[in-house]
């Protein structure tokens, strides 16, 4: 069964053979529209394709010819294009297994992607799976990040770009005017009194402005976390794009990735992060890396009053007592410490690993974040208020 990127690429390849200029940007837009809208009828599917792949009215007629050949009927004629009774909105053929008719021969157009991959095999028309009738997000929602293919990771990156990581508010040094503020704005009150003969008839008040607390993410990229690090890096990209977030990776050494992720796109984030962090898929020294973070960044203000998220399975080759010491130092500086361990998704999980057991007393929350559904617990833990340990 062809996946969503393969289907979008094959369909747009047929449009290019029909003389319609469709570039990679339009192909990505088409795939994203299918992901977000999940059309259930041929008319909805055609509207998605028209909105993202067609740039002028002269392209509609050849577009409809390709659409009918690929999806088995489409709409044609000015009545249907105006939304009249030319072609009623009907469900995609064979709605239960979510399949539609295969590719046929279009007059004047070469036989396109007859095998579903853009190769002219001369094979007769067959059924081709359409993964857009049942949204790919439904399939990815509960899938473990470690089991995703490269194409599914690309789709996951598009979804994660829409995520917003919110942290609790903190008072800033700036103020704003408020009718029921707790403090009197003396400067503005005296300024207004010049209009009333020097008599302050009305007291101006203010309250402190608030701003989101800083977010610091430390992600384990050792060999045991490598299957999850590929997916979590997309989330780190979203965090780094926020103005109040810092992103670090660690395995045998600590690497600051914030400048790298802010200057690159989501598709290049994994490659550039791999080149920047030379210890990718190496061993794990959580205690030593945490000590370096506390010494170089934590005490200098990066973690002070911030929400710190540590993404790791807790496997550590160092001494558990050292990890406990550095976690205690971090917990005294940070507002909240959240440990993200994908292994906790298993109902049989127990914190028996020495590193995890040593860090657990200093964590405000432990979440799995191993799938899209589990990310809800992670975002909720980020925005939760601090609890007294």
pLDDT (tens digit per residue) in 21-40: 887 777 778 888 887 777 77
Task: State pTM to two decimals.
Answer: 0.60
Q: How far is CA 73 from CA 70, 319, 356, in A?
A: 8, 67, 58
Count Cβ atoms below 10 Å from residue 74 Cβ, excluding itself: 20
What does the alpha-carbon distance between residue 202 and residue 245 come to, in Å, rounded to a whole number? 41
What does the alpha-carbon distance between residue 19 and residue 379 come to, in Å, rounded to a whole number? 46
Q: How far is CA 243 from CA 41, 95, 211, 259, in A?
A: 42, 45, 11, 11
Q: Which residue, 37, 9, 40, is CA-closest to 25?
A: 9
What does the alpha-carbon distance between residue 268 and residue 274 come to, in Å, rounded to a whole number? 10
Task: For the chain, state the CA radius of gyration.
Answer: 28
Tell me what pLDDT residue 268 has.
Answer: 67
- Mention every residue, 6+ apart, whose C-beta is less than 8 A from residue 139: none
- Is the model's pLDDT at 338 over the cut of 90? yes
Sign of CA dihedral 8, 9, 12, 18: negative
Tell me what pLDDT residue 136 has.
Answer: 59
**Torsion angles phi and psi, residue 219, rounded to 5:** -110, 130
Crossing angle, helix 286-293 and helix 320-333, to 10 degrees? 30
User: 242 with 183: CB under 8 angstroms?
Assistant: no
* Average model confidence (pLDDT) across the chain: 75
Q: How far is CA 193 from CA 183, 187, 189, 190, 207, in A?
A: 18, 10, 6, 5, 21
Tell me what pLDDT residue 326 has.
Answer: 94
Tell me what pLDDT residue 100 has.
Answer: 34
User: 141 with 371: CB under 8 angstroms?
Assistant: yes
Q: Is 71 exposed, middle or buried (0-12, 13-18, 19+ CB in 10 A)?
A: buried
Domains by residue range for the chain, with CATH: 4-134 (no CATH), 173-211 (no CATH), 215-383 (3.40.50.410)
> SS3 letters for the chain?
CCCHHHHHHHHHHHHHHCCCCCCHHHHHHHHHHHHHHCCCEHHHHHHHHHHHHCCCHHHHHHHHHHHHHHHCCCCCHHHHHCCCCCCCCCECCCCCCCEECCCCCCCCCCCCCCCCCCCCCCCCCCCEECCCCCCHHHHHCCCCHHHCCHHHHHHHHHHHCCCCCCCCEEEEEEEEECCCCCEECHHHHHHHHHHHCCCCCCCCEEEEEEEECCEEEEEECCHHHHHHHHHHHHHHHHHHHCCCEEEEEECCCEEECHHHHHCCCHHHHHHHHHHHCCCCCCCCCHHHHHHHHHHHHHHHHHCCCCEEEEECCCCCCCCHHHHHHHHHHHHHHCCEEEEECHHHHCCCCCCCCHHHHHHHHHCCEEECCCCCCCHHHHHHHHHCCCCCC
β-pair type (205-212, 169-177): antiparallel
Q: What value does the mean pLDDT take over residues 111-138?
A: 43
Question: What's the pLDDT tens digit per position in 294-316?
Answer: 999 887 788 999 999 999 988 88
What does the alpha-carbon distance between residue 157 and residue 215 come to, in Å, rounded to a whole number? 20
Residue with tokens 């800083």: 214
User: 54 with 62: CB under 8 angstroms?
Assistant: no
Tell me what pLDDT residue 387 has.
Answer: 66
Q: How confident is the model at residue 116 (pLDDT cuts 50, 70, 90)?
A: very low
What does the alpha-carbon distance between residue 304 and residue 176 come to, in Å, rounded to a whole number? 25
Q: What value does the mean pLDDT take over residues 378-385?
A: 88
Q: What value does the mean pLDDT take over residues 124-149?
A: 60
Sign of CA dihedral 117, 123, 125, 127: negative
Question: What's the pLDDT tens digit per position in 233-286?
Answer: 777 777 776 667 888 988 888 988 888 877 766 566 666 766 777 767 777 889
């Amino acid at each position: 069964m062809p996946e969503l990127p393969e289907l979008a690429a094959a369909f747009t390849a047929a449009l290019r053979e029909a003389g319609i200029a469709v570039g990679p940007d339009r192909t990505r837009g088409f795939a994203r529209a299918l992901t977000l809208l999940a059309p259930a009828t041929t008319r909805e599917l055609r509207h998605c394709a028209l909105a993202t792949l067609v740039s002028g009215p002269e392209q509609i007629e050849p577009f409809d010819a390709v659409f009918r050949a690929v999806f088995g009927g489409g709409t044609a004629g000015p009545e249907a294009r105006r939304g009249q009774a030319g072609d009623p909105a009907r469900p995609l053929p064979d709605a239960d297994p979510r399949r539609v008719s295969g590719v046929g021969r279009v007059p004047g157009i070469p036989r396109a992607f007859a095998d579903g991959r853009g190769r002219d095999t001369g094979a007769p028309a067959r059924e081709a799976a359409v993964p857009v009738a049942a949204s790919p997000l439904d399939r990815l929602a509960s899938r473990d990040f470690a089991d995703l293919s490269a194409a599914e990771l690309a789709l996951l990156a598009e979804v994660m770009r829409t995520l917003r990581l919110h942290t609790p508010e903190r008072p800033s040094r700036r103020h704003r005017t408020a009718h029921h503020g707790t403090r009197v704005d003396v400067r503005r009150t005296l300024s207004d009194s010049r209009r009333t003969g020097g008599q302050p008839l009305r007291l101006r008040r203010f309250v402190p402005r608030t701003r989101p607390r800083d977010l610091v993410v430390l992600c384990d990229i050792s060999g045991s976390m490598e299957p999850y690090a590929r997916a979590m890096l997309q989330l780190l990209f979203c965090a780094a794009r926020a103005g109040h977030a810092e992103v670090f990776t660690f395995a045998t050494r600590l690497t600051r990735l914030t400048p790298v992720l802010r200057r690159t796109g989501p598709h290049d984030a994994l490659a550039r992060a791999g080149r920047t962090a030379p210890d990718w898929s190496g061993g794990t020294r959580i205690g030593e890396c945490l000590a370096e973070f506390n010494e170089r960044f934590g005490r200098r203000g990066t973690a002070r009053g911030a929400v710190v998220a540590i993404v790791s399975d807790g496997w550590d080759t160092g001494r558990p007592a050292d990890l406990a010491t550095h976690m205690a130092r971090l917990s005294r500086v940070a507002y909240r410490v959240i440990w993200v361990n994908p292994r906790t998704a298993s109902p049989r999980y127990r914190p028996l690993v020495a590193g995890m057991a040593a860090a657990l007393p200093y964590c405000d929350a432990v979440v799995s974040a191993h799938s899209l559904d589990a990310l809800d617990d992670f975002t909720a833990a980020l925005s939760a208020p601090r609890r007294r340990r």
